[in-house]
Amino acid sequence: MKRVFWLTLLFALVFPMMPEAGSVPTVNITETTPVYNQSKKVAVFMKGTSTSIVKETDRYYHTVIGGDEVMFSKKRAMAVKDSYGTLKGAYPVRAITKKHVPILNAPNKKAKAIGQLQPNLTIHLQRAQGNYYPVNFGGKTGYIDKKEIVIDSGIPVLMYHDLTRVKLSDNVSVLEVKNFEEQMAYLKKNNWTTITPRQLELWVQGKLNLPAKSVLITFDDGYESTIELGYPILKRYGFKATSFLITSRIGKPGMVSEYDLQSTTDVYSYENHTHSYHMFNSRTGLSYLQSESRNVIRADIREANETIEQILGGHRVKAHAYPYGKNSLQAIQALKDAGITIAFTIEEGNVHRGDPIYALNRQRVHSHMSLKDFADKLKGM
C-alpha cells in the first residue's frame, strides 16, 4: 500500500491535472465585465454567460482564454452549483487581433457574441473549422471568424519518423515515400527554404533574420529509411534536414549505420534523441527524462553527444528532441549541462520568436494527412 501511495503522489506532482468537464467550478457573469492578464485588458465577458474558474483570490476569479490564464472581478460574477466545461486543450494556431474581435457561441453567421477580444492581442486557437477558429473562452468553446484575425505563422518544424515504399501497418508515423516526395515537391514549388536547428535557435532569440518561408525538417529515431528513401529526395531538391538519433541503436537492423551518417552530412545534420533513454520507466509509467535524476540524464545525453561527434569528427551536437515529447526540469538542466542549446517537444504548432528555447513546438506529419493539411500546418493554421 505504501508503494501505491508514493506512486500516486509522484504522478500528482509530475502531472498536475487540470479539472475535467463536470468538475470545474463555474460562475455566471452578472454584468458585462472586462478581463485582464497581469498587465492589460485582453477581453470582455458578456452579461449572462457562464465561465469556468481555475482559481480565485480575494478580489478576482481566474480562468483561461486560449490557453493563457486571465482574471476578472468577483463583483461581476456569481458562483453557481452546476459545473461545466474544461480548461484543457491544445491550441497550435497563433493569431493577432487588429481590432475588437467578437467571440461567437457557434461557427455560423447566425451565432451570438458571448464576449470579445481586445485589439493588438496575441491569442492561441485550435485549428480552423471551415471559416471559424475554435478558442477556449473561459472554459467553453467560442468561435472567431477567420476574417477577424491575422495568423502569426511563425516557422514550422516538421516531424517525420519512418518512410516506406508500401505501407503495411496502421502506424500513422510511417509515411509512404510517395507522400513524402509530394510534400517536398510542394515545398520546392512554393519557394520554402530549409534551415538548421542552429539557424532556428538564433532566429527565436532575435539574433538572425530568416526568409518568410523557412522550414526545419526533422526525423526522429534514426531509421534506415531516412537514408535509403529520404536522402535522395532531399538531395534532389537541394534541401537540408535534421535527424535526431537514438545512438544506442546505430548499426542495429533497420537503423542508420556509422557509414550512413558519414556519407550524408551534405543533407542531414545529426543531433541528440538520447543514447538509451528513449523509453518509459516501468515502475512509474514516466519517460526516463521525467523520472530520472539530473545527473543520470546528463550522463545519457553526453553519451549520445559523444557517440555522434566521434562518428562524424568535428561536429558539435547542440540540439535535442525529447523522447515522446516528454521533459522535466531536471531534464532541461541536464541538457544545458551537456551543452544542448535548443530542444523540441511534440506539442503541435509553429515556432515563434521568444518561444522557450528548450520547449519548441513541432508539426507532426502523419500518413492520414492530405496535401492541403500539410500546407495548412506550414502556415500555422
- Grid coordinates in use for 358? 528548450
Q: What are phi and psi of 179, to 5 degrees?
A: -70, -40
Using pLDDT thresholds of 50, 70 and 90, give the confidence band for residue 23. low
Q: Rounded CA gap, 80 and 87, in Å? A: 17
Q: Is 61 left (phi over 0), alpha (psi -120 to 50) or beta?
A: beta
Q: Kindly report the CA angle at 325 between 226 and 259, in degrees rounded to 5?
A: 25
What percent of the chain lies above the pLDDT cut of 70? 91
Which whole number is the average pLDDT over 245-260?
97
Q: Rounded CA gap, 240 and 226, in Å? A: 12
More confident residue, 168 or 300: 300
Total residues belonging to the chain: 381
The contacts of residue 174 (CB under 8 Å, 6+ apart) are 161, 162, 163, 164, 167, 367
Confidence check: pLDDT of 20 > 80: no
Q: What are phi and psi of 260, to 5 degrees?
A: -55, -45
pLDDT digits 0-9 by tens, 123-158: 989 888 899 999 989 888 899 999 999 998 999 999
Report the SS3 class of residue 178.
Answer: helix
pLDDT digits 0-9 by tens, 262-307: 999 999 999 999 999 888 877 778 888 888 899 999 999 999 999 9
pLDDT digits 0-9 by tens, 55-96: 889 999 999 998 889 999 999 998 886 555 555 667 888 999
pLDDT of residue 79: 86
pLDDT of residue 378: 94
The contacts of residue 373 (CB under 8 Å, 6+ apart) are none
Report the SS3 class of residue 364.
Answer: strand
pLDDT digits 0-9 by tens, 109-131: 999 999 999 999 989 898 888 99
Using pLDDT thresholds of 50, 70 and 90, give the confidence band for residue 362. very high
Asked whether 159 and 217 are in contact (CB, 8 A), the reply is no
pLDDT of residue 86: 59
pLDDT of residue 89: 66
Lowest-confidence range among 14-28, 61-75, 310-324?
14-28
The contacts of residue 108 (CB under 8 Å, 6+ apart) are 132
Asked whether 130 and 152 are in contact (CB, 8 A), the reply is no
Q: Rounded CA gap, 63 and 69, in Å? A: 6
pLDDT of residue 277: 86
Confidence check: pLDDT of 230 > 90: yes
Which whole number is the average pLDDT over 41-63?
91
Mean residue pLDDT across the chain: 89
Confidence check: pLDDT of 240 > 90: yes
Asked whether 144 and 135 are in contact (CB, 8 A), the reply is yes
Residues 8, 13, 14, 18: what is their CA dihedral angle, to the nearest 10 degrees? 100
- Grid coordinates in use for 217? 525538417
Asked whether 327 and 356 are in contact (CB, 8 A), the reply is no
pLDDT of residue 11: 39
Confidence check: pLDDT of 365 > 50: yes
